[in-house]
Amino acid sequence: MNDVRFAKSFKKLVEVNGNVQPGETVVIVTDFSMTDIARQLAVAVTAVDGIVSMCIMDQRTLDGQEPPKPIAAAMKEADVIYSPVQYSITHTIAMKEALKNGARAILMTAHNEEVLLSPALLKTDFQAQVPKCKALGEAFLKGNTVRLTSPKGTDLTFSTKGRGVNVLTNIPNPGELAPVPDIEVNVVPVTGSANGKLVIDASVPYLGIGILKEDIICIVKDGFITSMEGGEQAKFLKEKLDSYNDPNCFNVAELGVGMNPEARLTGNMLDDEGIVGTIHIGIGTSLTLGGEIVAPIHYDLIMWEPTIEIDGVVVQRNKEQLFYKPEESTK
């Protein structure tokens, strides 16, 4: 990896997204496959006088697997955490405890040259998206019932009564996550409340599936996916989920709304999940997002052209963000 070529990317990750200040404790959690990225991050942190520790672990075998206890302990003491790892440690008890202790977490799962040089990272004005993200977050907080539809046939309804909202602007405050460059707003359905049909037609950026060749059609009853049909990719995904022998893998855990205007469909998780004009339905663990369910996995299923209704009012139709009125945001 050419250091000069990526210098701007690491500078932005540290100075804008992490907002690392002199004297702050920065913990970089990585595995042996990602040490080049971790090392360059460390250099960028020291350039702003942050106090950096790099923790290297064996590569996890699946997303959501806990890091070793010494690394979890280091995370809990950090002001800022970076996680350049092949398999996500986002939905783990270690991350939840670190956030509870006030850490700001910059998530860098499966970052590679393509992500580091993507317009979603380099061209995005992250600060400019903050008022839009907050406006959608407020819309979710004011409502109780969400309905999702799409031209392909999605029609899913669930309750959000009593739930909080995660507004991931990618400039996190203490206790917040930033899945850079995936700007999103997400909410956890009340467990057991989701019912209807999902037609996933963009990507499943996990397990090597990536951009979809054929739609994946899911029937949801009382909060859980009860059937999953489609082509070979759908069959592969269902077989992997079944292999965990845990019904919580099929829990409808999250609605995430893409908010990065520069993001494009690539098959990479942190690009795809931020695309304006998409939503993703997270399945599996919801605990780290504000729910109660713990599962061996958390995967996101991404679909195009959603219409989002909150208490019967349309707040987004495809890329049209009806929830955001710029004139109101300046008052």
Q: Where are the domains positioned within the chain?
A: 3-117, 124-329
Neighbouring residues of 128: CB distance < 8 A, sequence distance ≥ 6: none
Is residue 1 very low, low, confident or very high in pLDDT (cuts 50, 70, 90)? low
Predicted pLDDT at 326: 77
With contact defined as beta carbons under 8 Å apart, do 47 and 70 qualify?
Answer: no
Of 266, 297, 304, the residue nearest 282 (C-alpha): 297
Strand duo 145-149 + 155-159: pairing: antiparallel
Would you say residue 50 has pLDDT above 80? Answer: yes
Predicted pLDDT at 3: 67
With contact defined as beta carbons under 8 Å apart, do 36 and 43 qualify?
Answer: no
Predicted pLDDT at 288: 85
Predicted pLDDT at 330: 47
Task: Measure CA 294 to chain center.
Answer: 17
User: How far is CA 309 from each of CA 145, 188, 277, 284, 303, rounded to the nearest angstrom?
Assistant: 8, 15, 14, 24, 16
Q: What is the pLDDT of residues 132-144, one digit of tens each?
A: 999 999 999 999 9
User: How far is CA 67 from each of CA 46, 62, 64, 204, 207, rounded to the nearest angstrom?
Assistant: 24, 11, 9, 24, 19
Q: What is the pLDDT of residues 4-13, one digit of tens each?
A: 789 999 999 9
Q: What is the pLDDT of residues 163-222, one digit of tens each?
A: 999 999 999 999 999 999 999 999 999 999 999 999 999 999 999 999 999 999 999 999
Strand duo 80-83 + 25-31: pairing: parallel
Enclosing H/E stretch for 74: helix 69-76
Predicted pLDDT at 40: 95
Q: What is the pLDDT of residues 57-89, one digit of tens each?
A: 999 988 889 999 999 999 999 999 999 999 999
Predicted pLDDT at 328: 61
Superfamily of domain 3-117: Thermophilic metalloprotease (M29) (3.40.1830.10)
Of 33, 38, 37, 43, the residue nearest 55 (C-alpha): 38
Looking at residue 287, the DSSP 8-state letter turns out to be G
Half-sphere exposure at residue 110, Cβ-oriented, CA atoms within 13 angstroms: 17
Residue range 5-22: mean pLDDT, rounded: 95
CB-CB neighbours of 1 under 10 Å: 11
Q: What is the pLDDT of residues 255-306, one digit of tens each?
A: 999 999 999 999 998 899 999 999 999 999 999 899 999 999 999 999 999 9
Predicted pLDDT at 64: 87
Predicted pLDDT at 2: 55
DSSP state letters, 245-282: T-GGGGBEEEEEEE-BTT----S-HHHHTTBTTEEEEE
Predicted pLDDT at 62: 84
The pLDDT > 70 percentage for the chain reads 98
Would you say residue 45 has pLDDT above 70? Answer: yes
